[in-house]
Structure formats: structure tokens, C-alpha cells
Amino acid sequence: MVDFSPSVQLNLNLRGLPNSATVSINERSNALIKSGRQVFKLGLGQSPFPVPEYVVARLREHAHEKDYLPVRGLPALREVVANYHAQRESISRTGEDVLIGPGSKELMFLIQLAFYGDLVIPTPAWVSYAPQAQIIGRRVRLMTTRESDGWRLRPDALEEVCREDADRPRLVILNYPANPTGGSFADGELQELAEVARRYKVVMLSDEIYGELHHRGEHVSIARYYPEGTIISSGLSKWCGAGGWRLGTFLFPPNMHWLLGAMASAASETFTSTSAPIQYAAVAAFEGAPEIEAYLDQSRRILRALGGWIAARFRAADVRCETPDGAFYLFPNFESHADRLAERGIHDSPTMCERLLEDTGVAVLPGSDFGRSTKEFTLRLAYVDFDGTKALAAAGAVDHQGELDEGFVRQYCPRVCDAIDGVIEWLEG
């Protein structure tokens, strides 16, 4: 009899590889809810806000589009994406520098397939960067950042890695505002990183999917300081609330069309092209309009108020937690409570998260899923379990120049507030 067991037939790079941690926690949370449990879904980083009606209307207009589009993307969308980034970062780009894909996640997989070199990932980092490299068989260099540096990659650390083998091809992923920390970079930090990257001819993949969700609207791309070596990754999933639409964008420097072309060739043999109606609708999102700006202004206000409230609440409970600069994530450190946790048989972050889910119904992920040690009592929470439609409407009725207060947060983000209160009560209980 022929043996078709996994140990014989399964690709070695996939053996033992679990499902994505964020996808798994979401599916587990939904299963627990279906069974009757109350679960606070702070695991999957899905935008709580609706897709702007202005963009949805464009999708309705183009729902009839059924033809395959060019593998590199709809020309009109590629042009508007190029203009979108060029205007914000004062760089010269055209539609010829853009590649459209079914989510930036897919494009990140393709670039690792096409680019031959090491993948350098500062940790904590999004859960899928390293597993994608493992699937393809690329060498991964994880760089441990420090909490005292706000979990940000330091120029001297990048210099040290590059100096080990100065001519080695490297693809460095820079993600900001960051998943999982919510942190970002100051202009001076980006300039210093750009200097190191230029010196060693590093290809910088700047994952800016949360760029428009910088809480002050002050996001700056490293492409402004390293235009010849930076690929900007973006899409619709986070700032436009359209995760399920699956549309991602890569903007290349003109001197990297060899890489764009190789990725497009691979795309032509795999997904062929991105959904046509979604691409037509995305033109409206990247073109911008007063409706889009108002939507973003209120989204930022809500996330700024909620993220700031949670961080302050944690710090008051002696949990180290930086106020986020953007996105909708926090990365608190419970190390100061390690002795108390040990008394309850909790000695690592995965166990802490498991017990939190069992005891309080709060679903979060351990820092170890993001490249940190299991012994480090960090976790990532996505503060997205609230009705974004109601919150946007309510925020729009409040003085646009003022900050949203705790009363607003508790009224319109009650599940997130109850979850944080529950975590702190569990911690102190």
C-alpha cells in the first residue's frame, strides 16, 4: 500500500507550521462565542470602522466588471496610488512603479519569493513575516529590539547586522505605525536608518498599511529619505476598513523594476489579477475626497482616545505600556506582576493569554507570537471590539477640535473598556 502520510509527502518547509496566530485566535473566539461564551475579541487586528460609503458607492457602480485586469493592476488605480504616495512623500513616482495584489500579505510573500537574500525582521513583528520566509525557504534574521527604545529598530543595531557581511543582499522590513506595538518613528530616526540602509544597499520594505491611522495624521515614510531603496507597502484593509476586500499595493523605486517585473511574472502564474470591482472602487479611496478625510479624522480621534485611555489604565495598574502613536494595537509588559502570576502557575506569556481567555473571556495574543521570548510577559491586544459605525457618528457630533474623553470611550467602546477592566481585575485578584 502506498504511504501518503504527511511525514512522507508534506513539504519540509510546511511541516509543523501552524495556522497564522491572528487568524487562529479569531476563529477560536468565534467558536467560543457560538458555544455561548462571552468573548472580548482583542486578538485579530480587523478595523472596527465601516468602509466609507463614498468608496462603497464606487464598488456598486463597478460590480458588473468581470474581465481579467492586467496582472500589475488597473492602470487608473496604479496611477492614483503613485500620486497618493508621491504627493505625501515628495518623491517622483508613476503608475509604472506600482504593483497591485490581493492584499499586501500576498505581495509580501511574492517579494520574498522573487528577492534572493536574507530577510531581516526587527521584533516584535507581525506574525506572518517570518512564517512566509520559512515556507519559501529564505534565511531569516530576527533582530531583538528593546522596550526602552519603544520597540523600534535602532540605526546602530541595523549597522551591526549589515557590517557582519557588508555585501550580502538583505531585505529589511520596517513596519510603522507598528503591529504589534502601535509605535512609530520620528523623522530623525528615519533619516538615520536611511543612512545605514544606503551605505549597505539594503532593500527596505516599508510596511505602511497603518500609515493613515497615525493618531495625529503625521505619518512620514522612510522613502522620503531613502527613495532609491524603499518599497512602500500599503492597501485598503486597515485605514479604509476593507480587510475582506483583499487589495494591497506596492510602490517601487524606478530602479527596482527588475523586482517588480519578477513579482508580476509570479503573480501571472498564481493569482492572475486582483478582483476587478475592488480595483475600480479602490481608485476612489486613493484619490481621496472630503468624505474620506472626514472619515480618517474621526477614526484617528477615536483610536487616539481609546489607545491613550487603555495605556493610562494599564500604567495605573503597574503594567508597562507606551501610549500608541498609531494603528489600533498595544504591547503591554506585565513583568512587574511576574511573582503574582507565578503564584497562580503562570510562568510565560502563552500561559498568561490562555488563562486570560479562560478566566475573563479576553482574547489576546502572547508576545511570543510576535518573535519575543515566551518568558517575557508581553502580549498584544487589538482594541477593535466596538461598533465603529456608531462611534464615528458620535465623534462627528463632538467638537472636532477637542479630544474625546473617557466618557466617550466608555459609552462608545464599552466592550473594549470592559475587557481592560476585566484584565486588571484578574491581574490584581
- Statement to judge: residues 214 and 262 lie in one domain: yes
Report pLDDT for 6. Answer: 63
Chosen domain end from 288, 323, 345: 288
Grid coordinates representing 136 are 519559501
- Statement to judge: residues 176 and 258 lie in one domain: yes
- Statement to judge: residues 33 and 80 lie in one domain: no
Give the model confidence (pLDDT) of 194-205 as tens digits: 999 999 999 999
- Statement to judge: residues 167 and 83 lie in one domain: yes
Position 3 pLDDT exceeds 90: no
Chosen domain end from 267, 288, 309: 288
Q: Do strands 140-144 and 118-123 pair parallel, antiparallel, or not at all (unpaired)?
A: parallel
* Structural domain contains residue 194: yes
Give the model confidence (pLDDT) of 75-132 as tens digits: 999 999 999 999 999 999 999 999 999 999 999 999 999 999 999 999 999 989 999 9
Residue 18: cis peptide before it, omega within 30 degrees of 0: no
Position 161 pLDDT exceeds 70: yes
321 compared with 30, residue with greater pLDDT? 321
- Statement to judge: residues 161 and 44 lie in one domain: no
Give the model confidence (pLDDT) of 338-377 as tens digits: 999 999 999 999 999 999 999 999 999 999 999 999 999 9
The span from the CA of 331 to the CA of 309, in Å, is 14
Asked whether 184 and 178 are in contact (CB, 8 A), the reply is: yes
> Average model confidence (pLDDT) for the chain?
94
* Structural domain contains residue 126: yes
- Statement to judge: residues 141 and 269 lie in one domain: yes
- Statement to judge: residues 37 and 64 lie in one domain: no
Position 2 pLDDT exceeds 80: no
Grid coordinates representing 389 are 459605525
Residue 102: cis peptide before it, omega within 30 degrees of 0: no
Q: Minimum mean pLDDT among 53-57, 146-150, 395-399: which range?
A: 395-399
Report pLDDT for 170. Answer: 95
- Domain range for 243 is 58-288
- Statement to judge: residues 142 and 186 lie in one domain: yes
Residue 265 CB partners (closer than 8 Å, separation 6+): none
- As a whole-number percent, the residues of the chain with pLDDT over 70 amount to 98
CATH, residue 260: 3.40.640.10
Report pLDDT for 4. Answer: 61
Length of the chain: 429
* Structural domain contains residue 107: yes
CATH, residue 306: 3.90.1150.10
* Structural domain contains residue 354: yes
Q: 201: alpha, beta or left, given left = phi > 0 and alpha = psi -120 to 50?
A: left
Give the model confidence (pLDDT) of 292-337 as tens digits: 999 999 999 999 999 999 999 999 999 999 999 999 999 999 999 9
Grid coordinates representing 119 are 530577510
Report pLDDT for 45. Answer: 87
Report pLDDT for 1. Answer: 59
Average pLDDT of the residues in 388-407: 90
Task: Give the count of domains, the chain.
Answer: 2
Average pLDDT of the residues in 8-24: 77
- Statement to judge: residues 45 and 186 lie in one domain: no
Give the model confidence (pLDDT) of 246-261 as tens digits: 999 999 999 999 999 9
- Statement to judge: residues 15 and 146 lie in one domain: no
Report pLDDT for 9. Answer: 74
Chosen domain end from 272, 288, 304: 288
Average pLDDT of the residues in 225-246: 96
Nearest to 408 by CA among 308, 297, 290: 308
Grid coordinates representing 215 are 493618531
- Statement to judge: residues 77 and 220 lie in one domain: yes
- Statement to judge: residues 115 and 220 lie in one domain: yes
Beta bridge mates, 365 = 380
Report pLDDT for 15. Answer: 78
Q: Do strands 362-363 and 230-235 pair parallel, antiparallel, or not at all (unpaired)?
A: unpaired
Query: Residue 21: which pLDDT band, with cuts at 50, 70 and 90?
Result: confident
Average pLDDT of the residues in 145-169: 95
* Structural domain contains residue 1: no
Q: What is the pTM of this model?
A: 0.94
Asked whether 306 and 381 are in contact (CB, 8 A), the reply is: no
